[in-house]
Structure 1
Amino acid sequence: MLWFYTLLPSMLPFLILSSLILHMGLLDPLLTKGEHIWRRLLQLSPQGAYALFMGILCGYPMGAKTTADLYRKGSVSRQEADYLLTFSNYPGPAFLLTYLCVGILQREDLAFLTCVILYLSSFLTSLFFRPSSQKRELQTDCMPSSPINLSEKSAKKASGSLSFGEALDASILNGFLSITKLGGYIILFSIFQVFLKKALPATPWVRYPVLGLMEITTGLSALSTSSLSFPVQYVLSLSFTSFGGFCVAAQTKSMLSGTDLSLLPYLKGKICCSFFTLIITLFLVKIIKVIV
């Protein structure tokens, strides 16, 4: 039901639209004008910035899927793809606002603070993994260096591009394949959690971290019914959400199929991001005491 009523209608249109944009070669005109901004702020090419935006707007695992799609097309280098995997997979705004803040925490007033904490943690993660020593290599690999190369690239795209109908058919097929994979992983991990709930001890500091690290939706739901105080629930909820859970890691791995990209950069990035989230949230709860 979670997949059918939430994931399917909220993510499938973005999956289809993103694939259509790539098939039709519309990405360069959309983002090339802000190239200097993406490179200076995040050290990304315009194509890499698109993967980041999709990850922010659509949520797990859209950032990884878009990165893999761009890498297959040769639009980003291996180095930039690995860099993107460390911080481009986000929990979507709809998940944060409706499911986490309203549904689980029942604190709509914490929506803005929650978004700031999680997105700030991801930005700090990007700084930690930024390949500054290879910046020149990133620039030469990801973007053409002259107008001649740009015109040659456009000519190749025009000669081998699909018609709108063909691109739309391919995008719909790709979107349904991806969304079905995600649903399968959510179902399998949710069933696995049923067995974990019976096997794990009742000790809160063992039970809820394990459930939260496996699959975030059911893990957060279980955490909300615990006897832990609200500040503790808030810290754990944001940390689990930032990490994404092993279910999202499995989804991300499936999105990388057909490429030689490794899941390791993603796992490193998620561990680092969840650590930043934990430290920032603990500081706000224990030191500043903005959450009661």
Structure 2
Amino acid sequence: MSMSSGYPVGAKITAKLRQEKLCTHMEGQRLLGLCSTSGPLFIIGAVATGIMNNPALGFFLAVSHYLSAVTIGFLMRYYGKEKPVIKNDSLSNPLTDMLDYRRKDGRPIGVLMGDAVKNGVNLILMIGGFIIFFSVITSMLKLSGFLSFFSIILSKAFPFETVTPDMVSSFLIGFLEVTNGAKECALLQVPLIYKAIMVSFMIGFGGLSVNAQVMSIVSETDLKFSVYFIFKLLQGIIAALYSFILITWFSDMQVFNLSGIAGTDIWEATVNYNWIHVFMNSTINLLFILAFIMAVSIFKHKKRPFSSKPFRMY
């Protein structure tokens, strides 16, 4: 869900699991670090294609982002000490568990749909509010001159001549809010690999805007936001490192050429035509597979005796 929907859905689901005691504190803390990722539509569609105007870059950004999340998941394995648990080797049917949970919940379908819509709208309003808040802060820093002042000072602190005040300014803006930082990076007159590394860090870290959203969500649980924040910083660094490695290794390939010279016709044809048909065919096939799995699950579920509690559909 986190990979498909993006920030902060993974944190929302993890917090709900913890509130319902479906996971331990340590499991929830580890899930929070692993399952807080950006969505492919944002990385490939919004950032790479829309902002950076380079669809091929989306491949490197997405792969490095999800590899960094998996790496953080492995590192979180060594965080804290977990109490021994009793392992249950029996396999369960997901659809059966869903139907059983539905009967235990007891709310009518209409109430469930209404609650889902209200929770979704509230989450969207919260996300939009944080984005506006940090965008206003960015504008204030620009207009006041503080952003330029700190950018010049920080750029001189680096021993590399390639680090310019504009690069530092773009990085600081992305540290606050990812989308604004990506827009600033796209305007930089620097090699593309520098832009990719900076944007990859921004997406991996999520910016203070996303971290504030997660802090608001986990505040109702016993999960530690400070641990999450540290590991998100580490994820941003790892994502930037992965982007550097991937672009260095594969940018010369024709399909993933980032210079816009070789492989342009192939990529444009893929983006403008073939991907639509591939997406539609894949979606249809996936729906058929899911329908088949659900039919088999329902058939198996009918063999089990249902609870005496009625299944209300009103």
TM-score (norm 1): 0.71
Query: Residues 105 and 234 of structure 1 are in contact (CA less than 8 Å); yes or no, is this contact kept in structure 2?
Result: no
Match of 1:228 in 2: 190
Code of the aligned partner of 1:237: V
Task: Say which of 105, 115, 119 aligns to 1:174.
Answer: 119
The Cα of 1:206 is off from its aligned counterpart by 2.6
Q: Structure 2, unaligned stretches of length 5 or more?
A: 152-164, 253-257, 260-314
1:18-39 deviations in Å (ceiling 9; x for gaps): xxxxxxxxxxxxxxxxxxxxxx
Match of 1:23 in 2: none
Q: Which has the larger radius of gyration?
A: 2
Match of 1:240 in 2: 202
1:132-159 deviations in Å (ceiling 9; x for gaps): 885663x54xx86779xxx9x9978734
The Cα of 1:251 is off from its aligned counterpart by 0.7
Match of 1:119 in 2: 66
Q: Structure 1, unaligned stretches of length 5 or more?
A: 1-53
Q: How does 1:58-207 map to 2 (within 5 A)?
A: 58-131=5-78, 137=84, 139-140=85-86, 158-198=103-143, 199-201=146-148, 203-207=165-169
Code of the aligned partner of 1:245: G
Kindly tell me: are residues 96 and 146 of structure 1, through their superposed partners in 2, closer, same or farther at Cα, counting changes over 3 Å?
A: closer
RMSD: 2.9
**Cα distance in 2 between the residues matched to 1:106 and 1:90:** 22
Match of 1:213 in 2: 175
Query: Residues 117 and 277 of structure 1 are in contact (CA less than 8 Å); yes or no, is this contact kept in structure 2?
Result: yes
Query: Residues 26 and 80 of structure 2 are in contact (CA less than 8 Å); yes or no, is this contact kept in structure 1?
Result: no
Code of the aligned partner of 1:180: L
**Cα distance in 1 between the residues matched to 2:124 and 2:80:** 37
**Cα distance in 1 between the residues matched to 2:194 and 2:182:** 13
**Cα distance in 2 between the residues matched to 1:73 and 1:265:** 21
Query: Residues 85 and 266 of structure 1 are in contact (CA less than 8 Å); yes or no, is this contact kept in structure 2?
Result: yes
Question: Would you say how many aligned residue pairs link Structure 1 and Structure 2?
Answer: 233
Code of the aligned partner of 1:59: G
**Which has the higher mean CA deviation after the structures are superposed, 207-216 or 165-174?**
165-174
**Cα distance in 2 between the residues matched to 1:226 and 1:99:** 18
Moved over 6 A (4+): 143-147, 153-157
1:5-53 deviations in Å (ceiling 9; x for gaps): xxxxxxxxxxxxxxxxxxxxxxxxxxxxxxxxxxxxxxxxxxxxxxxxx
Query: Residues 87 and 269 of structure 1 are in contact (CA less than 8 Å); yes or no, is this contact kept in structure 2?
Result: no
Code of the aligned partner of 1:177: N
Task: Say which of 212, 226, 238 aligns to 1:250.
Answer: 212
**Cα distance in 1 between the residues matched to 2:239 and 2:76:** 16
The Cα of 1:212 is off from its aligned counterpart by 0.9
TM-score (norm 2): 0.67
The Cα of 1:60 is off from its aligned counterpart by 0.5
Query: Residues 223 and 233 of structure 1 are in contact (CA less than 8 Å); yes or no, is this contact kept in structure 2?
Result: yes
Kindly tell me: are residues 164 and 257 of structure 1, through their superposed partners in 2, closer, same or farther at Cα, counting changes over 3 Å?
A: farther
